[in-house]
Amino acid sequence: MPRTEHKQHNYLPIPPEHILPGTRAGFELYLRQGQRFVLYAKSNDQFTSDHRTRLSGMGARNIYISAGMAKEHAAYVQRHLARILDDDTIPVDVRSETWSNSASKLAEDVYETNLPPSVLRKRVQRIQELIETSRRFFDTPEALRELSRFIGAGQATYRHGIGTMVYALCVMQTFNPDQAEMIDVCIGSMLHDIGKTSLPQELSEKNPMTMTEEELGAYSTHPVLGVRSGSAIPLMPQAIHCILFHHERMDGTGFPSRATGAEIPLPARVTAACNTYDGLTRSRPWRKALTPFEALKRMRDDEGAHDPEIFKRLVQVLSDSGLA
């Protein structure tokens, strides 16, 4: 096997469980032997079950990639994340850590693209700490299986959940909540659309403005379905509120309960506003993404939808970045 003489800091350890049979990765894999790194698999080699068997027989606790290939590795993990989380041959702690690392990277991408660079590092580290702390909610095979189902149902819905989570955490911080409430919002806002996994895909991707009355009735059940879907995950009440009430409106015309004003818990009101904003600024099958200015104008003009104080704080968060 070819050898390299590079120093250790040029390489990053990854779990051997990230080698998935039947896949190819756009990066080389190395084994460490003393201070040297030995090529184990070339870029775009076809992985087989024998790779894991051999590594297990060698007692390899980590394999390594070049530090310059970190983005390619992150993309590979994200493409196959649902499969990794649902693989009962992989230890639970490895799977939950894989999720938290991947979610942290997606959150950082949202921040780098859409939020203020002046406070980027401090805030993104805070969000990543919350994601890492939230790992404990996914430390059972049942919870990981539910998370896998959510991610596997559609990357677009999952990424929307991550985007909503980032905005929601930024807005929640302006209320100076305690750590427990921030963790609840972290999980609840990310999973707010988990109920859509119980709907037909064509319905969950359809423009609500063009739905028939029957279709709209079915679509409106997804917050309740989300609470049922999340039953395998030990969610606290505040997290459940984010899932159940994220389509409620301040004027009482939302769903599923037509709650009004302060009847809607604060974390749910924050999640609702951030859900709308992130959704409007993402492309959907029936329309292009709106600009931040266009999205905020539409939200402002939709009287009775969102808590005015929360909307003001969302605008402030975005204004700090020059987006609003």
The pLDDT of residue 36 is above 60? yes
The pLDDT of residue 1 is above 90? no
Q: What is the pLDDT of residue 73?
A: 95
Q: What is the pLDDT of residue 2?
A: 43
Q: What is the pLDDT of residues 11-23, one digit of tens each?
A: 999 999 999 999 9
pTM confidence score: 0.91
* Residues 47 and 153 placed together within one structural domain of the fold: no
- Closest by alpha carbon to 272, among 240, 225, 310, 319? 310
- Closest by alpha carbon to 148, among 206, 102, 111? 102
pLDDT tier at 124 (50, 70, 90 boundaries)? confident
- Mean pLDDT of all residues in 116-134: 80
Q: Tell me if 101 sits within 8 A of 154, measured CB to CB.
A: no
CA distances from 252 to 167, 264, 307 (A): 24, 10, 12
Retrieve residue 92's tokens.
């639970």
Q: How many domains does the chain have?
A: 2
Average pLDDT score, the chain: 91
238 backbone dihedrals φ, ψ, rounded to 5°: -65, -35
Does residue 38 lie within any of the structural domains?
yes
Q: What is the pLDDT of residues 52-67, one digit of tens each?
A: 888 888 888 899 999 9
Does residue 201 lie within any of the structural domains?
yes
* Residues 136 and 28 placed together within one structural domain of the fold: no
* Residues 136 and 104 placed together within one structural domain of the fold: yes
Does residue 324 lie within any of the structural domains?
no
pLDDT over 90, % of the chain: 79
Q: Rounded CA gap, 50 and 28, in Å? A: 17
* Residues 48 and 106 placed together within one structural domain of the fold: no
Residue type present at position 125? Q
Q: What CATH number is attached to the domain comprising 295?
A: 1.10.3210.10
Q: Tell me if 184 sits within 8 A of 242, measured CB to CB.
A: yes
* Residues 25 and 96 placed together within one structural domain of the fold: no
Domain residue limits at 7: 1-69
286 backbone dihedrals φ, ψ, rounded to 5°: -105, 0
* Residues 115 and 176 placed together within one structural domain of the fold: yes
4 backbone dihedrals φ, ψ, rounded to 5°: -125, 150
CB atoms within 10 A of CB 200: 12
Does residue 194 lie within any of the structural domains?
yes
Does residue 75 lie within any of the structural domains?
no
* Residues 18 and 41 placed together within one structural domain of the fold: yes
Residue type present at position 146? E
- Mean pLDDT of all residues in 270-294: 95
- Mean pLDDT of all residues in 285-295: 93
* Residues 60 and 106 placed together within one structural domain of the fold: no
* Residues 65 and 88 placed together within one structural domain of the fold: no
Which of these ranges, 204-213, 274-283, 300-309, has the smallest mean pLDDT? Answer: 204-213
